[in-house]
Amino acid sequence: MSDVSYQAVMGRKNQIMKAAVGLDYAQFEREGIAFDYESMMASSNLNIGDVMDVMASFNVGNTPLAELKNITALARRYAKSGFGARIMVKDEACNPSGSFKARRAALSVHIAKKLGYKGVITATSGNYGAAVASCCAKAGLKCIVVQECFDSGGKGQPEIIEKARKCEALGAEVIQLSVGPELFYVFLRLLEQTGYFNASLYTPFAIQGVESLGYEIALQCRAQFGKDPDMVVATNAGGGNLTGTARGLLQAGCKAPVVAASVDLKGLHMASDTQFNRKSFTTGHTGFGMPFTTWPDRSDVPRSAARPLRYMQRYVTVTQGEVFYTTEMLAVLEGMERGPAGNTSLTAAFSLAQELPEDAILVVQETEYTGAGKHQNAQLAFARENGIEIKIGDPRVQTPGQTIVLPKDPKQIKAVEVDINRLRRSFINNAFVKDVRLPDEATLAYLAAEINLPVEGTRALIENMLEESK
């Protein structure tokens, strides 16, 4: 019998993961810090046509691209004359499990069945668990969802508990744990014990599934408006949503700029037991968005396929209060009740649309379902129970974990720019484990692709960092 101590199981994690994803990551490693990203992404041997066929087989995708005419009109009230882009939303809540993550799950479950696995395991507190459960039900595979749910006092967030109910309704076994390192330990042990497939959010299969979303956006925009979108806004957390969407756009020959958007939760630690229930968003926030952008390989696989810095042209943040306000705005102005986390990108889009001319097309690339526990009123009530003050005023005055400030007026919704060069510098520091040095040409080319800069720009950035460190 294998040693099941924490240290021993964690020591076997690479071996466990290799068996659980059917993929040998070592083949993609190159000398030094580099690896062959595109070869890893091509390892499924599926082209975009194949991916679209898989989506159709699970009744996933082909979701509507809806124009938000009333929200567009409201945004134009605050824009200068001739400005205020038409805001479209890709309504991913129409997928069987209620979110875009059905696309990740469909391709992952397809691969699991093709490789002969009897079941699938995923570790998530979010919509992905429901997506995997839904696809496993259709494919006839067993499903286990390991969920980070409670603080040490046994108190769970209403949004997370809501999602657990949905997973169970779709036939999954749900294992709920408290916040902390035990989640990954239990996850590894289950993979080892069951021999099930790891439907990680960060495999090439998961990201390739999301490529179908970007591909559809490009085709639908051309069919409905005779042109490509002028901007696409994607909520950013672990990076797979943005990465897959951007890659799908490119596969359709669409070069629209992709903007990342996250809820500003600066000051809160996502793995802190005492702070776990003091945040009102389980995803789409800076607690995931920033660290996963500046070092994607912190995930549960050796090399993450979600690499958002490769694809984002801009990164903006919005506040919790602004997102709750926009969630209600979508319901009362457009008759669409959708979950708060999926409205992060819509909040940013309301502000960004005011920068673009009236004939521009701005696409919000996903929505998610809502329900009793996911509703903004449930989240705000839970915040009050945890001592967080809810106010109306200037949303910029918020202190995450202490106050949520709802805007007094829609004109107060303003996306705040993140310095991408600062993120690039952090990525380089992480890549070199803080021992930054000027690399050889091959490594320099790899880094240039990773941080979305030309090779010479990357060289200049590293030289500048070295000069500053003297």
Enter the DSSP assignment of 373: T
Distance (Å) of CA 338 to CA 127, 255, 311, 328, 374: 13, 28, 27, 9, 9
Cα 387 from Cα 227, distance rounded (Å): 49
Mean pLDDT, residues 299-309 taken together: 95
Query: Which of 365, 364, 240, 339 has the alpha carbon at shortest distance from 280?
Result: 339
CB distance 294 to 201 below 8 Å: no
The per-residue pLDDT for 148 is 87
The per-residue pLDDT for 122 is 96
Q: What is the pTM of this model?
A: 0.96
Query: Which of 368, 470, 469, 391 has the alpha carbon at shortest distance from 425?
Result: 469
The per-residue pLDDT for 168 is 95
Cα 11 from Cα 25, distance rounded (Å): 17
pLDDT band at 269 (very low <50, low <70, confident <90, very high): confident
CB distance 216 to 248 below 8 Å: yes
Query: Which of 260, 261, 244 has the alpha carbon at shortest distance from 252?
Result: 244
Cα 58 from Cα 74, distance rounded (Å): 37
pLDDT band at 239 (very low <50, low <70, confident <90, very high): very high
* pLDDT at position 354 over 80: yes
The per-residue pLDDT for 268 is 87
What order do you get walking across the sheet with 173-178 strand by strand?
Answer: 173-178, 142-150, 119-123, 197-198
pLDDT above 70 covers a percentage of the chain that reads 100
The per-residue pLDDT for 1 is 56
| pLDDT tens per residue, range 194-223 | 999 999 999 999 999 999 999 999 999 999
pLDDT band at 261 (very low <50, low <70, confident <90, very high): very high
Report the amino acid identity of residue 229.
P
* pLDDT at position 262 over 60: yes
* pLDDT at position 341 over 90: no
Asked: is 6-53+99-204 a CATH 3.40.50.1100 domain? The reply is yes
**Long-range CB contact pairs, 39-48, < 8 A, 24+:** 40/204, 40/303, 40/305, 41/204, 41/207, 41/208, 41/247, 41/305, 42/204, 43/204, 44/107, 44/111, 44/204, 44/205, 44/208, 46/107, 46/208, 48/211, 48/212, 48/215, 48/248, 48/251
* pLDDT at position 241 over 70: yes
The three-state (H, E, C) secondary structure of 214-249, written as one string? HHHHHHHHHHHHCCCCCEEEEECCCCHHHHHHHHHH
Report the amino acid identity of residue 392.
I
Which pair of tokens denotes residue 170? 């779709």
* pLDDT at position 271 over 80: no
46-60, 61-75, 94-108, 369-383: which range is least confident on average?
369-383
pLDDT band at 363 (very low <50, low <70, confident <90, very high): very high
Cα 59 from Cα 104, distance rounded (Å): 13
The CATH fold assigned to 57-95+208-417 is: Rossmann fold (3.40.50)
Mean pLDDT, residues 43-67 taken together: 97
Which pair of tokens denotes residue 123? 């570790």
Distance (Å) of CA 405 to CA 91, 146, 388: 27, 33, 10
The per-residue pLDDT for 342 is 84
User: What average pLDDT is seen over the chain?
Assistant: 95
Distance (Å) of CA 321 to CA 132, 263, 340: 31, 9, 11
The per-residue pLDDT for 119 is 98
The per-residue pLDDT for 454 is 97
The per-residue pLDDT for 426 is 97
What radius of gyration, in Å, describes the C-alpha atoms of the chain? 21
Helices 204-225 and 240-251, axial angle in degrees (round to 10): 50
Mean pLDDT, residues 124-141 taken together: 94
The per-residue pLDDT for 282 is 84
